[in-house]
Amino acid sequence: VQEDIASPKRTNELLKRHGLVLKKSLGQNFLVDPNILHKIVSAAELDKSKGVLEIGPGIGALTQQLSKIAGKVIAIEIDQRLLPLLQETLSAYPHASVIHGDVLKVDLKPLFDDQFQGSDQVSVVANLPYYITTPIIMKLLEEKLPLENIVVMIQKEVADRMSAKPGGKEYGSLSIAVQYYCEPEIVTIVPRTVFIPQPNVDSAVIRLKVRKQPAVEVEDEDFFFDVVQASFVQRRKTIYNNLAARYFSKETKGQLEAILLGAGIEPSRRGETLSMQEYAQLSRALSAALE
Ligand code: SAM
């Protein structure tokens, strides 16, 4: 039986023996608290029939716990220096393998086809590198991979934005993009003291349960997300002013009030008060009017 990696003593010993100095630029903050690891792993609801994609295994603290439960674990790590170390720490788990690469550049569809054919369901489970949290999540969602769950440790502030409901200052285009594809749930808040080295922000574990169908029906997804984005360009301005600036000229903006009212939306409201359903209605009405 392999000793658990997630303790300050073992982590420091491994880093020292391999002569590794961690890189801040790669978001290398390693988890050294077994309780948090167990919370992450149990939120993913894994068993032997399931596959896991991990992003950024580091020295394998989370990979090890995932490998004890899941049928197959594939981890993508950008830092080549960690590969010999991972080979050592994961040697007891033949169904876990590490791919060297940048997750933002790896073509995930063929990787899923190759690696997860025998798995019933696949989850992404990771303690993400914080400098690219949003691009990673958006890549996973937009590529429409066959995912059941995404359970990730991210900055608390980003987790709050992903799970925000209409009406508050955290609610914005990220909330809508994530909630279009998933049902988010914050699993636990994590203090910065459980990492080596400690990051400058508090963290949260969030679970994104991937929906079988998007939350609302829209004809043109790109246009729907464009309308959402446009509505938050200047948060303090009304929906009318933001949309007028994006889609209309001085001459044509006369019709915007009627379009908004036709979609059931008061022109004086701010973008942060509109629900996803209202954005769907609005994008349909706008697209018909702009044709
Ligand atoms: N999983 C480990 C843990 O929980 O202790 C390490 C997590 S650490 C926050 C993030 C990891 O992501 C680091 O190992 C880092 O090298 C890796 N990483 C950073 N950028 C990456 C990228 N673009 N693609 C893949 N891995 C990346």
Specify the pLDDT at position 175: 98
Q: Ligand 1 pocket check: which of 22, 38, 55 to mutate, most ligand atoms within 8 Å of Cβ? A: 55
CA distances from 244 to 119, 227, 259 (A): 49, 11, 11
Residue 5 has pLDDT above 80, yes or no: yes
Specify the pLDDT at position 34: 95
Query: 225: part of which helix (H) or strand (E)?
Result: helix 221-231
Can you tell me the distance from the alpha carbon of 173 to that of 171, in angstroms, rounded to the nearest whole number? 7
Can you tell me the distance from the alpha carbon of 105 to that of 126, in angstroms, rounded to the nearest whole number? 17
pLDDT tens track for 229-274: 999 999 999 999 999 999 999 999 999 999 999 999 999 999 999 9
225: its two tokens: 């997300």
Predicted ipTM? 0.99
pTM recorded for the entire structure:
0.96
Q: Does any ligand 1 atom lie closer than 6 A to the CB of residue 103? A: yes
Distance from the Cα of residue 273 to its chain's centroid: 23
Residue 51 has pLDDT above 90, yes or no: yes
Query: 287: part of which helix (H) or strand (E)?
Result: helix 276-290
Q: Does any ligand 1 atom lie closer than 6 A to the CB of residue 29? A: yes
Which residues, at least 6 apart from 84, have a Cβ–Cβ distance to it below 8 Å? 18
Q: Which residues participate in the annotated binding site?
A: 29, 31, 56, 77, 102, 127
Specify the pLDDT at position 1: 59
Q: Does any ligand 1 atom lie closer than 6 A to the CB of residue 6? A: no
The answer to whether residues 20 and 89 touch, using CB atoms and an 8 Å cutoff, is no
Q: Is the peptide bond before 84 cis (omega within 30 degrees of 0)?
A: no
Q: Is the dihedral of CA 9, 67, 53, 89 positive or negative?
A: positive
Q: What is the mean pLDDT of the chain?
A: 96
pLDDT tens track for 10-37: 999 999 999 999 999 999 999 999 999 9
Q: Does any ligand 1 atom lie closer than 6 A to the CB of residue 256? A: no
Q: Does any ligand 1 atom lie closer than 6 A to the CB of residue 58? A: yes
The answer to whether residues 204 and 40 touch, using CB atoms and an 8 Å cutoff, is no
pLDDT tens track for 86-109: 999 999 999 999 999 999 999 999
The angle formed by the CA atoms of residues 61, 63 and 68, to the nearest 5 degrees, is 105
Specify the pLDDT at position 78: 98
Q: Does any ligand 1 atom lie closer than 6 A to the CB of residue 15? A: no
Label residue 3 by pLDDT band (50, 70, 90): confident
The 10 Å Cβ neighbour count of residue 138 is 14
Instruction: Classify 73 as helix, strand or coil.
Output: strand
Can you tell me the distance from the alpha carbon of 167 to that of 186, in angstroms, rounded to the nearest whole number? 19
Q: Which atom of ligand 1 is nearest to the CA of 54?
A: 1
Specify the pLDDT at position 291: 85
The answer to whether residues 11 and 18 touch, using CB atoms and an 8 Å cutoff, is no
Specify the pLDDT at position 55: 98
Specify the pLDDT at position 120: 76
Q: Which residues participate in the annotated binding site for S-adenosyl-L-methionine?
A: 29, 31, 56, 77, 102, 127
Instruction: Classify 184 as helix, strand or coil.
Output: strand
Query: What sections of 6-125 are H helices per DSSP?
Result: 8-17, 34-43, 61-69, 83-89, 108-115
Can you tell me the distance from the alpha carbon of 173 to that of 183, in angstroms, rounded to the nearest whole number? 15
108: its two tokens: 């995930």
Distance 15 CA to ligand 1 centre (A): 15
- Widest CA span of the chain, in angstroms? 74
Distance 55 CA to ligand 1 centre (A): 6
Can you tell me the distance from the alpha carbon of 27 to that of 257, in angstroms, rounded to the nearest whole number? 46
133: its two tokens: 């949290």
Instruction: Classify 289 as helix, strand or coil.
Output: helix
Phi, psi for 196 (deg, rounded to 5): -120, 120
Specify the pLDDT at position 119: 79
